[in-house]
Amino acid sequence: MINSGAVQASRIIVMPNGIDTSRFALKASVRDSVRKDLLVDAGDIVLLSVGRLVPEKDHALLIRAFSLLYTEEPRLRLRIAGDGPLRNQLQDDIAAMQLCEVVQLLGTRQDIPDLLHGADIFVLSSQIEGMPLVIGEAMATGLPVVATDAAGVREIAGNLATITPVGDAAALAQALRSAVSRLPTTPDQCAKNRKRITSHFDIRVIADRWLIHYQHLTEGF
């Protein structure tokens, strides 16, 4: 809006959506049961993505990137939570790449916080986003994040995520390779990821920002 000249920067205030970070508090106790449900072994490395199976989320890119990396690291497992019109096509892609044993489409899930606790790395492969709250949810559990440079990713993650160009499978594979090499994530890094979200995007922090803004508006009358 600013770049197009439609409005002056001084007239825009950005208010992010808030995240109930209490739902994503660290819960190591659920990890083993979740991983059992995901059919992964103790030594497996679980990459998790969450989002509707639509072109904008570009899960096809993620599957291609995973296929590049899996040949080097057979402990990798990819789980994608969400459903949508591309499910059959993505399942065909998985079969064509002979990845059915290690890549699973989980469908619609109501237990995203638990799934995040069972994962080792969160990955977002979107072409287009607005404000990808799932990045904040993943970081609130302490997970390392690898994501494409879709709108909103940098605003939420700051400098704590590994960000790659949109639509580049090789770059995404390389970023995941680097993230895997840094596992296991240290408690300090988990805490730093979570603090980023609780400090800037917790629902209570955002509510306070709204209240302050409303107060400023009333003072103008």
Q: Is residue 206 part of a domain?
A: no
Q: Is residue 36 part of a domain?
A: yes
The pLDDT of residue 29 is above 90: no
CA atoms of 25 and 195, how far apart (whole Å): 11
- Domain of 174, CATH number, reads 3.40.50.2000
Is the preceding peptide bond at 184 cis, omega within 30 degrees of 0?
A: yes
pLDDT given at position 219: 86
- Bridge partners of 33, per DSSP, are none
Domain with 40, as residue range(s), is 17-199
- Bridge partners of 9, per DSSP, are none
pLDDT tens across 105-148, in order?
A: 999 999 999 999 999 999 999 999 989 999 999 999 999 999 99
pLDDT given at position 78: 98
- Residue 112 CB coordination number (10 Å): 18
Q: Which of 157, 101, 105, 106 is nearest to 134 (CA)?
A: 157
pLDDT tens across 152-200, in order?
A: 999 999 999 999 999 999 999 999 999 999 999 999 999 999 999 999 9
pLDDT confidence bin for 28, thresholds 50/70/90:
confident
Residues 6+ apart with CB under 8 A from 42: 35
The domain tally of the chain equals 1
pLDDT confidence bin for 26, thresholds 50/70/90:
confident
Instruction: Evaluate whether 163 touches 153 at the Cβ level (below 8 Å).
Output: yes
pLDDT given at position 221: 59
